[in-house]
Amino acid sequence: MSDQAESVDTSPPPIGTGLGAWLDHISQTVAGLPGRYRAAFRKKPRQTILVTVIVLLGLVYPLLDQYFLASFSRNVFPLPLPDDTVMTFMMIFGIMAVGLNIVAGFAGLLDLGYVAFYAIGAYVAAFLASPWLSAFGINLEFLSLQGAGQPGVHLPFWIIVPIAVVVVATFGALLGAPTLRLRGDYLAIVTLGFGEIVPLVFKNLSNVTWSLVLGPINIHLVGANLTGGVQGINPVDAPFLPILNIPFDAGAGFLPVYLGIVLLLIAILFARNLQYSRIGRAWIAIREDEVAAEMMGVNTVRTKLLAFALGASFAGVGGALQASYLGATTSDFFDFNISILVLIMIILGGIGNIWGVVVGAITLQYVDKTFLPYLGQRIQENAPGLPNPAEFNFLIFGIILLFMMRFRPQGFIPSRQREAELSVIGLSAAEAEMGIPTDEETGAPLDLDNIEVAPPGQSEVGPDARAPEVPGEGRDL
Amino acid sequence: MDQLIQTVIIGLAEGLIFALVALGYTMVYGIIELINFAHGDVFMIGSLIAFFLLAPNQAGGGLGIFPLTAQTPVPLMIGEIVATLAITIALTAVLNMAIERLAYRPLRHAPKVAPLITAIGMSFVLQNVGLVFAGANQRTTENIFPKDNLLAGFGITGFEITVSQVFVAVVTVPLLVGLTWFVAKTRQGKAMRATAQDPDAAGLMGVDINRTISITFLIGGALAGAAGVVQILYNNVTLYSLGFRFGLNSFTAAVLGGIGNLRGAVLGALLLGQVNALSDRYIAPAWTNAIVFGVLIGIMVFRPTGLLGQQLADRA
């Protein structure tokens, strides 16, 4: 957040394209960080110190928790502290929120089926790092980092992540392609349908009888269990660093949290670079006005497909991390609630603002997995008849959604641009009702016949002024 | 062949229940262009209310206000069903109207997806209300209708129509006809059509827009409540999460028929009933939802105006 203030003037000098140039750009960005930090410190010292302290505390927290706080909370006094699992999931959902923010926040394409990509990412990891495929005669044990001899495919996590990104991005483009013409609510429902179908496919492909003979291809499946059905696939290999011999599984304490932090930081870096790139500006342009963007030469088809594909790929990373970390994946985990949970995260944090959505994801994950169960436990101990709030978490999230849309649609850490756009909701009641511009101070309708108009060239109205919104127009996101 | 006819009959009964819910979606979309995501959950609340009114006290788990068993004498049974319908319809109608008043009206001029997201939030709230009152397990009632095959009198034995299926038709068809008449012939119906075409112009012509929208939600809620009663008596089972599946089926029906088009919604619902029944019978119940979603995606992508077309072309 500290570098937000200076983000406008950091456009890098024009450099070439390709991977080398991109690495060049990254190194320039990283090299520029101390300077930007000093500038932010000069501009807003208090805010910068606060953010620095919070970030540093966050970075040492997993260590503190494991060596001190957890035992304190267990033995001395119970505190609502997130444990390693919750923290890892905070990072997983942070990655997903950053990804959904690209589709829904930057490009303005409301995706209600984001869970589909999460599921695909998880199953990619499950297929490529488990004994599962040995049942179909596919054994690639020599690829394993943890010693040969195991049946099935055991790719290292570091190779699975790029594979998951490619696979999920392909599915994102596949979903994007037929929906290019759709806008707003229709798009939302189509993505919702996609998000329901994908987990159902994983759930139902547990007893497939099918045969295909096509030249050299000769496939015969009789009662084949392709996806594990409701039981899912387990065990899935944990991420593993070979030279240091570090596993990142659910029993590895704070280690997977730091793996999650690294992946989240990479995700944020990618998303930030995309946001300020040509494609990022194109996304924002089609979000604002698709027709106008097209007139200005934006290739809307390519832009939207890239939004879907790139946005989805983040969920692929999240899914791969989840399956590898938990060592298992089941179809029932991936339901509509997850899509909505990620949506609430980005709305809560501030749709369009990368740091906002990350904070939203961490906060909501904390409330869901740590605070509500803690509250529920305290209530059960002291007053056992009362309802357990952890069972009604989606009641609370539903209410959060209602209140956010009503009173703070731009979120708690809004992007400045979105805030300006959404402030049309905050029009005075008379203005919203009648579509008549009103005086900003008194709320009275303006007398349009006697309005003072500055002579040409002397207008006080800057380039940011917008025409009064006409109700019924511009309803699309 | 007999099996196919039987499947079609089952699909028809289910399609009629879908039609009641689909009308609520299509009317609301026609008038304020909102996919009222919470509508399926209003239906679910209706079926829970009916369950609590009808299920006997001790074994049934309901409140037993109108305890209904297979042994209840027929005149009393009819009276209890009518009373349950009346109470449920009144409650869900007011609930739906209140939802519009509190949640959607303040956002009427917001970007289009803001009320949609609000509706999703409302859907979760209603689901959890159902969870609080009915618990996480499904609630079942006794089948009160005799299981005789009404076609046996005509010498047909290969497939059957049961009393419960006739009951579904007896309740839903008059409601569907009545609604069509209301929208086509009455002054209020004209106001609804005018508001759907152009809210601003209708307002200038003296139509009270807010009142018209409220009445639309009132009617939609009433139909959803009636569907809830019919569904608990026909399927004998309800659950707090029933609204999601039912709502998406009914919404698919509305889109299939051409959203905003009342006759289209009924036609779409009857077709969707067939899709459900045929898929349950000939593919597998586990795939039915995926097929319904596939139909939904297919229509929205390839023919967003639906089978009978919609009133305004620029909505997709």
| pLDDT value at B82 more than 80 | yes
Cβ proximity of B25 and B292 under 8 Å: no
Residues 323-342 of A with CB under 8 A from B: 336, 340
Are B244 and A336 an interchain contact pair (Cβ–Cβ within 8 Å)?
yes
Are B108 and A471 an interchain contact pair (Cβ–Cβ within 8 Å)?
yes
Are B294 and A193 an interchain contact pair (Cβ–Cβ within 8 Å)?
yes
Long-range contacts, stretch A221-226, CB < 8 angstroms, 24+ apart:
A224/A136, A225/A135
Are A471 and B284 an interchain contact pair (Cβ–Cβ within 8 Å)?
no
Q: Does A406 touch chain B (CB under 8 A)?
A: yes
**Which of A275 and A206 is assigned the larger pLDDT?**
A275
* Per-residue pLDDT at A147: 59
pLDDT, one tens digit per residue, over A263-304 is 999 999 999 989 988 999 999 999 888 889 999 999 988 999
Backbone angles phi, psi at A224, to 5 degrees: -75, 135
Cβ proximity of B9 and B266 under 8 Å: no
Cβ proximity of A107 and A328 under 8 Å: no
Cβ proximity of A175 and A194 under 8 Å: yes
Count CB atoms within 10 A of the CB of residue A334.
Answer: 27
Cβ proximity of A412 and A350 under 8 Å: yes
Are B111 and A394 an interchain contact pair (Cβ–Cβ within 8 Å)?
no
Residue A4's pLDDT band, with cuts at 50, 70 and 90, is very low
Long-range contacts, stretch B217-220, CB < 8 angstroms, 24+ apart:
B217/B28, B217/B96, B217/B97, B217/B99, B217/B100, B218/B93, B218/B94, B218/B96, B218/B97, B219/B24, B219/B27, B219/B93, B219/B179, B219/B182, B220/B23, B220/B24, B220/B25, B220/B27, B220/B28, B220/B36, B220/B39, B220/B42, B220/B96
Whose tokens are 């008596």? That residue is B233
Question: What is the residue type of A78?
Answer: P
ipTM, interface predicted TM-score of the complex = 0.89
| Residues in Cβ contact with A109 at an 8 Å cutoff, skipping those fewer than 6 apart | A103, A187, A304, A307, A308, A477
User: Which of B35, B115, B284 shows the shortest C-beta gap to A189?
Assistant: B35
Residue A475's pLDDT band, with cuts at 50, 70 and 90, is very low
pLDDT, one tens digit per residue, over B186-200 is 999 999 989 988 888
* Per-residue pLDDT at B63: 78
Long-range contacts, stretch A433-440, CB < 8 angstroms, 24+ apart:
A435/A468, A435/A469, A435/A470, A435/A471, A437/A468
Residue A224's pLDDT band, with cuts at 50, 70 and 90, is confident
- Buried b or exposed e, range A178-215, using 16+ CB within 10 angstroms: ebbebbbbbbbbbbbbbbbbbbbbbbbebeeeeeeeee
Residues paired with A210 in a beta bridge: A221
Residues paired with A438 in a beta bridge: A445
Question: What is the residue type of B218?
Answer: L
Q: Which of A258-267, B133-142, B146-155, B236-245 is least confident?
A: B146-155
| Token pair belonging to A362 | 């961490």
Residue A145's pLDDT band, with cuts at 50, 70 and 90, is low
| Token pair belonging to A378 | 């305290």
* Per-residue pLDDT at B49: 93
Are B106 and A201 an interchain contact pair (Cβ–Cβ within 8 Å)?
no
Query: If you ran DSSP here, which 8-state letter would residue A66 be given?
Result: I
pLDDT, one tens digit per residue, over A180-200 is 888 778 888 899 999 999 999
User: Which of A110, A178, A394 shows the shortest C-beta gap to B128?
Assistant: A394
Mutation test of the interface with chain A: which of B32, B124, B129, B244, choosing the one with the most A Cβ atoms within 10 A? B124
Are A197 and B244 an interchain contact pair (Cβ–Cβ within 8 Å)?
no
* Per-residue pLDDT at B314: 40
**Closest CA–CA distance from residue A79 to any residue of chain B (Å):** 27
Q: Which of B223, B171, B166, B197 is nearest to B33 (CA)?
A: B197
| Token pair belonging to B288 | 């039915």
Average pLDDT over residues A5-27: 61
pLDDT, one tens digit per residue, over B157-197 is 788 888 899 999 999 999 999 998 999 899 999 999 899 88
Q: What is the mean pLDDT of chain B?
A: 88
Whose tokens are 């402030």? That residue is A423
